[in-house]
Amino acid sequence: MVGIVLISHSGGLASEAAELARSICGVDVPVAAAGGADDGGVGTSVDKVMAAVAKVDQGDGVVLIPDLGSSVLTARLLESPGSVVIADVPFVEGAISAAVAAAGGAPLEGVLAAAAEARSFRKL
Amino acid sequence: MDTRFFVIWMEEITAAVRAGRDHLTRLDAAIGDADHGTNLDRGFAAVAEALAARPPDTPGGVLVLAGSTLIRKVGGASGPLYGTAFRDMGKALGDAADVSAAELASALEAGLAGVRRLGGAEEGDKTMVDALAPAARAMARTVDAGGDPEEAFAAAAAAAEEGAKATVPLVARKGRASYLGARSAGHEDPGAASTALIVGALRAVATRRSPRSESRP
């Protein structure tokens, strides 16, 4: 299964979004949170992101979903074509789309495409 | 310039960032999230510790270790950006034990290219690129014209300071301040200001060291 890492400036936002995505999928989809700086404050920790990638990597690739700013830059440092890719998508909607696709067994490109669809989701 | 020169450059940066910490944070409070000074201060303090714990034996090694440390320790957008700048500079210097001003000028251009690649900013976007790009150009121009390292660093430092001041009227198109749109105008960009400190530290090292022993083209 493709792994998903949610990278946010906020530890709470990342872990709750990951929990939401997991609960909507209803299966053991590998979604990990990497939120907040090393000291728990607002920011991004490359060590947390690397640990999260290692945790969800089952050999099928990993999709990184950053929120903004340093989360995006940190994700870009860890990009590895074909294995660790970034989805440039809304954080919550993208996380859920990606998790649903991953839970359905989609390959890396499929999970990335599903996440990208979240960019055009309309709520009304 | 030998390994020691680059270690002293890092020490000068650490001191300049410590002294300028509150000023950088005030600049960031106006158009960002008020953490630039504290983030960089933490990052360069960690660089000093890393250099003391694992002293590299080449100029490139100093810069790569500094860059990797900044990426891990800063926690804000400036960590990946400055980290990439120093790492790419260090990689450009390779294993050389001694570096000429021309080689350092090329390395600075490599660092600038890394920052542009990672953050996607161009000159005029109100970011660190607005200080780093003119600094790299000034250093290369001075070296090409036959200037010694001291002159090249002074030109680069002046260009970075001028570039940072020139961000005041700009509207941010990249980074945290871009969320403010037109309200970002009227403030100096904190990233450009810290770049001016970093390049200014290079000038400080060159003037602190004996010109006779360091003055190599």
Does B71 contact A77 at a Cβ distance shorter than 8 Å? yes
HSE, CB side, 13 Å, CA atoms: give it for residue A36.
Answer: 12
Closest chain B residue to the Cα of A70, Cα to Cα: B77
Q: Return the domain boundaries, chain A.
A: 3-120
CB proximity A69 to B under 8 Å:
yes
What is the CATH number assigned to the segment(s) A3-120? 3.40.50.510
- Measured between beta carbons, the chain B residues lying within 8 angstroms of A88 are none
- What average pLDDT does the segment A91-110 reach? 96
Residue B146 CB: number of other CB atoms within 10 A? 8
How far is residue B11's CA from residue B54's CA, in Å, rounded to a whole number? 15
pTM, rounded to two decimals:
0.91
Domains in chain B (CATH in brackets) are 3-214 (1.25.40.340)
- Percent of chain B with pLDDT strictly greater than 90: 91
A35-87 per-position pLDDT tens digit = 999 988 889 999 999 999 999 999 999 999 999 989 999 999 999 999 999 99
What ipTM did this prediction achieve? 0.84
How far is residue B116's CA from residue B66's CA, in Å, rounded to a whole number? 19
SS (H, E, C) chain B: CEHHHHHHHHHHHHHHHHHHHHHHHHHHHHHCCCCHHHHHHHHHHHHHHHHHHCCCCCHHHHHHHHHHHHHHHCCCCHHHHHHHHHHHHHHHHCCCCECCHHHHHHHHHHHHHHHHHHHCCCCCCCCCHHHHHHHHHHHHHHHHCCCCHHHHHHHHHHHHHHHHHCCCCCCCCCCHHHHHHHHHCCCCCHHHHHHHHHHHHHHHHHHHCCHHHHCCC
**Dihedral over Cα of B88, B90, B95, B97: its sign:** positive
A7-38 per-position pLDDT tens digit = 999 999 999 999 999 999 877 899 999 999 99
Give the distance from residue A17's alpha carbon to the nearest chain B alpha carbon, in angstroms: 21
B59-92 per-position pLDDT tens digit = 999 999 999 999 999 988 999 999 999 999 999 9
Return the residue matching tokens 């009304």.
Answer: A124
Residue B30 CB: number of other CB atoms within 10 A? 15
**Dihedral over Cα of B174, B177, B179, B182: its sign:** negative
Residues A33, A14 contacting (CB under 8 angstroms): yes
How far is residue B194's CA from residue B16's CA, in Å, rounded to a whole number? 9
**From B35, B73, B118, residue closest to A73, measured CB to CB:** B118
